[in-house]
């Protein structure tokens, strides 16, 4: 499967509302496979369709690499048309990064537990509760489907501190280990 280039943080597709997936088709199956391959190739634990330039309510993830040995593993998961229906627990700060914002990591506060309704790869409805890292990854990818990036949660002070790093991404002065699409002019 081809490795898809990942768009950087300032590409307009990352801020657009995404469209619902109406059915699983051969093209959606191929997109899912390509996104999983791209995520693994990039050493990521999640990847949303907008990050590869596709404005659909779809993300893939595999949080197993970041889980503790005693935690339940899930393997690769596919979320189609997800909807977080409940957030609970205390807000917890954890470092987050994003394949669309290479080399930048900052603490973000998010609820520890979520309940999410979604269609799986077979387009069957699921309702599951996740906590810890799994919840964190899901919330991060879910945000991509709504035009939100983790840097949007940062204080004005933190945003000023990373301004130079964001400009380096804009100017193509960073070279992640995976293919990216530089800023689109518009």
Q: What's the CA gap between 156 and 174, in Å, rounded?
A: 23
Alpha-carbon torsion 145, 148, 151, 153, what sign? negative
Among 81, 92, 75, CA closest to 135: 92
User: Given 72, 83, 124, 141, which residue is catalytic?
Assistant: 141
Whether 125 is catalytic:
no
Contact 142, 130 (CB under 8 A): no
Which H or E run contains 155?
Answer: none
- Surface-to-core class of residue 125, CB atoms within 10 Å of its CB (0-12 exposed, 13-18 middle, 19+ buried): exposed
Residues sharing a CB contact under 8 Å with residue 147, sequence separation 6 or more, in sequence order = 14, 15, 16, 17, 50
- Surface-to-core class of residue 67, CB atoms within 10 Å of its CB (0-12 exposed, 13-18 middle, 19+ buried): middle
Catalytic positions, please? Answer: 141
């Amino acid at each position: 499967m081809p490795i898809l280039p990942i768009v950087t943080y300032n590409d307009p597709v990352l801020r657009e509302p995404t469209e619902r997936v109406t059915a699983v088709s051969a093209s959606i199956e191929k997109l899912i496979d390509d996104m999983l391959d791209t995520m693994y190739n990039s050493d990521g634990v999640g990847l949303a369709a907008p990050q590869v330039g596709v404005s659909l309510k779809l993300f893939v993830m595999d949080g197993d690499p970041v889980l503790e040995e005693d935690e339940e593993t899930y393997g690769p998961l596919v979320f189609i048309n997800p909807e977080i229906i409940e957030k609970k627990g205390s807000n917890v700060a954890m470092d987050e990064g994003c394949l669309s914002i290479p080399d930048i990591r900052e603490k973000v506060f998010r609820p520890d537990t979520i309940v999410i309704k979604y269609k799986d790869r077979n387009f069957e409805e699921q309702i599951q509760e996740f906590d810890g890292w799994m919840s964190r990854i899901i919330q991060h990818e879910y945000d991509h489907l709504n035009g939100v990036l983790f840097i949007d949660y940062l204080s004005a002070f933190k945003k000023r501190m990373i301004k130079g790093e964001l400009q380096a991404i804009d100017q193509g002065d960073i070279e992640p280990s995976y293919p990216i699409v530089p800023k689109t002019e518009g």
